[in-house]
Structure 1
Amino acid sequence: MNPMPDTVRFEARGAVRELFRSTDTEVLLSGAAGTGKSVGALMYVHLQCLDNPKTRALIVRKTHASLTSSTLVSFREKVAREAIDAGLLHFFGGSAQEPASYRYANGSVIVVGGLDRPTKLLSTEFDLVLVDEAIEVTAEDLDTIVSRLRNGVLPLQRLIMCTNPGPPSHHLKLRADSGRCRILYSRHEDNPRLYQNGEWTEYGNAYLARLDSLTGPRYQRLRWGKWVSAEGVIYDEWQDVVHLVDRFAIPDAWQRYISIDFGFTNPMVIQWWAQDGDGRLYLYREIYKTRTLAEDHAKQVKRIIGETGEPHPVAVVCDHDAEDRATFEKHSGLFTTPAKKTVSPGIQAVQTRIRPAGDGRPRLFILRDSVVDRDQDLIDAGKPTSTVDEINGYVWAVKPGAAGGLKEQPLKQDDHGMDAMRYMVAAVDLVGVARVQSPARRVPGVSAAASRYARPVAGGAGR
């Protein structure tokens, strides 16, 4: 155990400094990517717990998986490391009665978790709640959280939210505009790792160069922290709060599909889809990765299907590259079908699925946390790391001088998940992939070409 210094040194700048000084009950820290807003807010919660015995705080994101893979790593390594080493707090992994938490020697507690597992999290009262990546949560989530701010140990019961900006119509921006919460804008100059003594650091220059390579709304949001809409957005009826759903156990009876957009320098995207009895499609697993060979992707797909024991796909719909298709078939044991790639009909088919059907529900959903593992190179470059990341920035190309200024084709940038999704919808709605055929399986000892005509293994979808 290492001794804890009498003083915790932390340089609060800009929006984070104002967070420490202000007395607003609801604060939204909004800013460009990498401005230090999450670390600053985590430090605020940590210091309140150190200074005020028996404080109860909650650190939460929309899903448990996203919290543990990012926010809690920052808390553990960048905020609370000295205190943990000194024995002033320790992690409790949770039990049947209590959620996971950081427990302080002075009796303070920080409960941690995701809103996809809300029962134990929100069954008690808090003095402070920090919602990281708040743009992911619903207005109803926030209202529920606010109702739990009544522990009474701290004189100021407080909700703190951190986010990168989105469209100006988002409920967070409307919440701030209505005066319900105070919005504090953070800048890259607020992050000491990027900016020191009036100059950009070496890391800061490199980081900003990556953000400067972005275009469109992602550039405005992640580089400059602006709440802007995507001009000419193609899937304008997409709503994260409607189409992005919590993970659930998919019944074995639902037909499974895989759609693929090949890539290497650009991401290769492999999407797993399930279709329910009413024909709705659910994207439930995704590989979205650069600089990986088709052979290695194929082996990973084969391994995942084997380890999960889920039904084999009815069809594998993919880009037309003959060499990549042959490689994928050889190493995955799955047959492939070339996608219907006509762009305009495919986009219209996806648009139809995204808008509400006769029963008021759309016919296409994506499960949260579907990506198998995030591509760090894409994260560092400020690029999309999943199909969901692409949707709101998928726009029509601009044609100068044309009527309306927009082409009939989408902008060919950050669209790899969009292509794979279009292939999937076109296969079902425009081509009519059979929903009752036996799964395509490689027959041992039969060549790739000949095995296309081999009789499937008895037993239908099977395991």
Structure 2
Amino acid sequence: MLAPAVELPLSRKQLCSVARATARINIWHGSVRSGKTVASLLAFLLAIAEAPPSGLIIICGRSLLTIERNVLEPLSDPALFGPVAGQVRHTRGATTAVILGRTVHLIGAADSRAEGRLRGLTAYLAYVDEATLIPEAFWTQLLARLSVPGARVLATTNPDGPRHWLRTGYLDRAAELDLHAWHFALHDNPSLSPAYVRSLHAEYTGLWRRRMIDGAWVVAEGAVYDCWDEQQHVVDELPTITRYWLGIDYGTTNPLAAVLLGLGVDGRLYVCAEWRYDSRARRRQMTDAQYSAALRGWLTGLGVDPEWTFVDPSATSFTAQLWEDGHPGVARAKNDVVDGIRSTSTALAPAFLRVHRSCEGLLAELPGYSWDPVAAAAGEDRPIKRDDHSCDALRYVVHSTLPEWHHLVPDLIPEEVSAHATA
């Protein structure tokens, strides 16, 4: 059998973590791209090579897709693991893989019901990708299944809030448990180029900069978009817009907000226009058909036919009305709130996303859009649900179009951000 080895240079911390990953629970945590995954995967390969024939070997993650992307694809990369990569075999979509001649079972853990998939198993070795994203009940059941003598779990994760169960129940109790943990920062990965490090510093801001760049387990607090600066982000004139998308937050007693997002010839995103209807202020509610007709008239007046219309996914009847009335590209918006906020922060941080001064509702909401301190105290990241209708519409359209614009952001890193990243 070929000895597992990586082709990239390894830091002293990476090598140390591989050598000491002998506890029952082994956790690599810290910033993105800090080298923790490569180190943990190398430790996993060594553990497979040494595993006794009894006891299952499993890989767990939020879904089969994330397991394939975050674990199996790197293991299969000769640039990372040299000739050993040829001993990783997997058919996409299958729930098993063969690694170093051993069958490895792949288990997705999207919700608390997933822990049932572990019942009855007797495992020797488990690898957990992004441990903070799996349910605590699944993690607890997984540890109970590791009952073969010498059994262990290897897990990686980016930080979450300081009251996350993995932090309070395990990392903070390392001295009491059979647990080894290593905290990684960007400088612990010797293979990163300075240009890539600058890109990461430009992409993350506020809460995510502290978690993803500094690797800190910190609470969400203060303004959601703490990089917001009216001097930088608000414009009086728009460039020629080459593409348009529409985001809609639906409301009956609450306002309905529609935000028109455009891609300018300068390669930046612009909130070009906004339409709002507040039934409480107007003292008159509108039907779905009336909303649809009003939006169509507004877009016609602007001379715009957006490629896609991303709608609040809870607004089933309104979405059906838009389809019936022939609005372009009607689709359910991606509604993961925290991921959507992160995408919007990515666009705002380098002033890649700008807002036209006519968007009064959005401009009024953005400065006051804040994290909920009560939720933060309970270890959750959740914004306050108040005066957020245009912010939600913005989040829908920005996050849903992420693949269309994300590749443009690194080209717009401000000089001051680059200088900070290099220092």
Where on the TM-score scale, by shorter chain, does this alignment land: which range? 0.5 to 0.7
Which amino acid is 1:60 matched to? C
User: What value does the CA root-mean-square deviation take over the aligned residues?
Assistant: 4.7
Match of 1:16 among 14, 38, 53: 14
State the match for 1:451 in structure 2.
none
Q: 1:48/1:182 Cα in 2 relative to 1: closer, same or farther (>3 Å)?
A: closer
Instruction: For residue 47 of structure 1, report the CA deviation from its aligned partner.
Output: 2.1
CA distance in 2, matches of 1:109, 1:170: 32
State the identity as a percent.
18
Q: 1:51/1:187 Cα in 2 relative to 1: closer, same or farther (>3 Å)?
A: same
Do the aligned partners of 1:45 and 1:57 also contact (CA within 8 Å) in 2?
A: no
State the match for 1:149 in structure 2.
146
State the match for 1:67 in structure 2.
67
Match of 1:221 among 203, 211, 220: 211
CA distance in 1, matches of 2:368, 2:197: 23
CA distance in 2, matches of 1:170, 1:389: 22
Q: 1:114/1:367 Cα in 2 relative to 1: closer, same or farther (>3 Å)?
A: farther
CA distance in 2, matches of 1:82, 1:40: 17
Instruction: Write the mapping of 1:34-49 to structure 2, written as runs, cut at 5 A.
Output: 34-49=33-48
1:26 aligns with 2:16: no
Instruction: Write the mapping of 1:9-408 to structure 2, written as runs, cut at 5 A.
Output: 9=6, 11-22=9-20, 23-52=22-51, 54=53, 56-77=56-77, 82-85=83-86, 88-91=87-90, 100-104=95-99, 106=101, 108-116=102-110, 119-120=116-117, 123-152=120-149, 156-175=150-169, 176-179=171-174, 180=177, 181-194=179-192, 203=193, 205-213=194-202, 214-232=204-222, 262-264=261-263, 265-266=268-269, 297-298=307-308, 313-314=319-320, 332=328, 386-387=340-341
**SS across alignment from 1:35:** coil
CA distance in 1, matches of 2:29, 2:191: 18
Instruction: For residue 113 of structure 1, report the CA deviation from its aligned partner.
Output: 2.9
Do the aligned partners of 1:258 and 1:315 also contact (CA within 8 Å) in 2?
A: no
Q: Show CA shifts across 1:332-353 (max 9, x none).
A: 2769xxxxxxxxxxxxxxxxxx
Q: 1:74/1:226 Cα in 2 relative to 1: closer, same or farther (>3 Å)?
A: same
Q: 1:425/1:17 Cα in 2 relative to 1: closer, same or farther (>3 Å)?
A: closer
Instruction: For residue 185 of structure 1, report the CA deviation from its aligned partner.
Output: 0.6
- In structure 2, list runs of 5 or more residues that go unmatched: 226-255, 272-303, 349-362, 372-382, 394-423
Instruction: For residue 134 of structure 1, report the CA deviation from its aligned partner.
Output: 1.3
Q: Show CA shifts across 1:84-112 (max 9, x none).
A: 53xx4532668xxxx72222465x23222
**SS across alignment from 1:67:** helix
**SS across alignment from 1:17:** helix
CA distance in 2, matches of 1:82, 1:231: 47
CA distance in 2, matches of 1:221, 1:185: 12
CA distance in 1, matches of 2:148, 2:138: 19
Q: Show CA shifts across 1:129-155 (max 9, x none).
A: 121111112221210110111234xxx
Q: 1:58/1:172 Cα in 2 relative to 1: closer, same or farther (>3 Å)?
A: same
**SS across alignment from 1:102:** strand
**Which structure's relative contact order is higher, taking Cα pairs within 8 Å and 6+ residues apart?**
2
CA distance in 2, matches of 1:215, 1:334: 31
State the match for 1:434 in structure 2.
none
Do the aligned partners of 1:59 and 1:129 also contact (CA within 8 Å) in 2?
A: yes
Instruction: For residue 119 of structure 1, report the CA deviation from its aligned partner.
Output: 4.9
CA distance in 2, matches of 1:387, 1:215: 11
Q: TM-score, length-normalised on structure 2?
A: 0.53
Q: 1:56/1:45 Cα in 2 relative to 1: closer, same or farther (>3 Å)?
A: farther
**SS across alignment from 1:50:** helix
**SS across alignment from 1:150:** coil
Q: 1:227/1:5 Cα in 2 relative to 1: closer, same or farther (>3 Å)?
A: same
Instruction: For residue 330 of structure 1, report the CA deviation from its aligned partner.
Output: 7.5
CA distance in 2, matches of 1:425, 1:222: 23
Which amino acid is 1:66 matched to? T
Q: 1:25/1:423 Cα in 2 relative to 1: closer, same or farther (>3 Å)?
A: same
Which amino acid is 2:123 matched to? F
Instruction: For residue 186 of structure 1, report the CA deviation from its aligned partner.
Output: 1.1
